[in-house]
Amino acid sequence: MIDFELAPEDKAKVEEAHNIAQTLFRPISRYYDEHEHEEPQELIDTMWNLRSKGFLTGMGVAGALMVEELCWGDAGLYLASPGPGLGGAAVFAAGTQEQWGRFLARFNEGKPTWGAMAMTEPGAGSDTSAIQATAARDGDYWVLNGEKIFVTMGHRALDLSEGIIVVWATVDKSAGRAGMKSFVVEAGTPGMKVEKLEKKLGIKASDTVTVTFENCRIPFNNILGKAEVKTKTEGFKGAMATFDITRPLVAAQALGVTRAALDMLKDELDKQGIKIRYDVPRSKQTAIERDFMEMEANWRAAHLLVLRAMWQLQGGTPNALEASMAKAKAGRVATLITQRAVELMGPLGYSRKLLFEKFMRDAKINDIFEGTGQINTLVVARRVLDYTRDQLK
């Protein structure tokens, strides 16, 4: 039986996350939106201290709910908070227990540290199997060459901390997807360089960079999974296993931004004397009431999909279909609801006096990264119809 009930200690963590979002994130949300790439040092120190004490850590349903709460405060500031991030998720999904200890221990001690993951390239976006970055074995080392773009938190992971970046590269181009492997590269490794810091539409408090690798040598045992190229899709499955963890979490980010917009919209409507009457027949409701209830219903549907995917993950049940469903639904819902909130508020929604326009900008990325809405819809269709990649493109 599906059960989303939280243990008392997990409920306390979710409540703590909301308190942090309300008292720490939200008050500085606009400032760091308008001061892109400025370091929110007080937030970083606070979040690292909480993480070191065991707060705000967790996987499964509780983890998703904590992410949602923090992104209700500010999605960009959540991403800027120190922690293993997408890189840590990749290590957890494809690494060994020895690698968990070697690469993830740094995220619980010492100074603030970040993790990043590098998959997208100038010629390989949604089609991750088309990556051109290479990894060639040289004795007890791997030599990486290539360029990665749109790397979330790459600057903080590599230039501002002793973090890690998980890089996807091919060890055998002729093998296609089977030759695709992931490698952990630690900050300070010669041959790796952050080349460009992007300016973005939303989530401005986080950093997004281009990273190049030129004869970058890393230890042989920094590969996640097996080095051998065996089956047709074995290497690609490692990437998909990572997405099974990260896609529901990105969906939870979308839910947080969306709920922030809904909560603020309801408050502003209430100030103007417009009540959402849930006990009135639809035929007697105003257009605004009907719109709001439809927005709320879509948010709840996405919310349940996210909880289902994370519940399966924490129970060890395969969740690839549900992870993509949650990501596709939440990304679309976030985009449409935040846009509609701006429209309903009119000039106030479009102005910078309130946060509606920021919510709309922050929401859009959730329909793009960790697999676009179109790609995730395609993944869902293939799994529901039992079609192969070649049968349905």
The CATH code belonging to domain 112-231 is 2.40.110.10
- Range among 54-63, 83-92, 172-181 with highest mean pLDDT value: 83-92
- Report whether pLDDT(174) > 80: yes
Count of C-beta atoms within a 10 Å radius of residue 166 = 29
Q: What does DSSP assign to residue 201?
A: S
What is the residue type of 222?
Answer: N
- Evaluate whether 164 touches 116 at the Cβ level (below 8 Å): yes
Structure token digits, residue 168: 């996807």
In order, the DSSP letters of 329-345 are HHHHHHHHHHHHHHHHH
In this predicted model, what pLDDT tens digit does every residue of 330-369 receive, in sequence order? 999 999 999 999 999 999 999 999 999 999 999 999 999 9
Q: Would 112-231 and 235-385 be classified into the same CATH topology?
A: no
CATH of 8-107, one of 3.40.50.300, 3.40.190.10, 1.10.540.10, 3.40.50.720: 1.10.540.10
Alpha helices in 195-319 (DSSP H): 234-271, 287-314
- Report whether pLDDT(239) > 90: no
φ and ψ at residue 116, rounded to 5 degrees:
-140, 165
Our answer to whether residue 343 is catalytic in this structure is no
- Coil/strand/helix, residue 122: coil
Output the pTM of the full model.
Answer: 0.94
Count of C-beta atoms within a 10 Å radius of residue 318 = 11
What is the residue type of 301?
Answer: A
Structure token digits, residue 301: 């549907």
- Evaluate whether 347 touches 271 at the Cβ level (below 8 Å): no
Alpha-carbon distance values, 162 to 19, 89, 188, 192 (Å)? 29, 17, 8, 14
Count of C-beta atoms within a 10 Å radius of residue 31 = 11
What per-residue confidence (pLDDT) applies to 227?
A: 82
Our CA dihedral for 58, 49, 53, 6, rounded to 10 degrees, sits at -30
The domain segmentation of the chain, as residue ranges, is: 8-107, 112-231, 235-385
What is the residue type of 116?
Answer: A
pLDDT tier at 237, thresholds 50, 70, 90: low
- Report whether pLDDT(232) > 60: no
Please indicate whether residue 78 or residue 1 has the higher confidence score (pLDDT): 78
What per-residue confidence (pLDDT) applies to 351?
A: 96
Residues 6+ apart with CB under 8 A from 94: 182, 224, 225, 238, 241, 242
Cα separation, 323 vs 59, whole angstroms: 14
What per-residue confidence (pLDDT) applies to 156?
A: 98
pLDDT tier at 85, thresholds 50, 70, 90: very high
- Evaluate whether 29 touches 74 at the Cβ level (below 8 Å): yes
- Report whether pLDDT(390) > 90: no
Cα separation, 67 vs 249, whole angstroms: 7
| Helix axes of 8-20 and 60-73: crossing angle, nearest 10 degrees | 20
Handedness of CA 248, 300, 17, 199 (dihedral sign): positive
Catalytic option among 121, 186, 357, 370: 370
Structure token digits, residue 136: 């060639």
| Percentage above 70 pLDDT, the chain | 97
Cα separation, 248 vs 357, whole angstroms: 25
Count of C-beta atoms within a 10 Å radius of residue 185 = 26
2-6, 239-243, 304-308: which range is least confident on average?
239-243
Q: Taking CA 386 as the corner, what is the angle to CA 382 and CA 392, rounded to the nearest 5 degrees?
A: 40
Structure token digits, residue 223: 């590969």
Q: What does DSSP assign to residue 25?
A: I
- Report whether pLDDT(70) > 90: yes
What per-residue confidence (pLDDT) applies to 173?
A: 87
What is the CA 95 to chain-centroid distance, rounded? 19
Cα separation, 353 vs 356, whole angstroms: 9
| Percentage above 90 pLDDT, the chain | 84
pLDDT tier at 235, thresholds 50, 70, 90: low
In this predicted model, what pLDDT tens digit does every residue of 105-121 receive, in sequence order? 999 889 999 999 999 99
Q: Which residues pair with 219 in a beta bridge?
A: 141
What per-residue confidence (pLDDT) applies to 1?
A: 67
The fold of the 235-385 domain, in CATH, is Butyryl-CoA Dehydrogenase, subunit A; domain 3 (1.20.140)
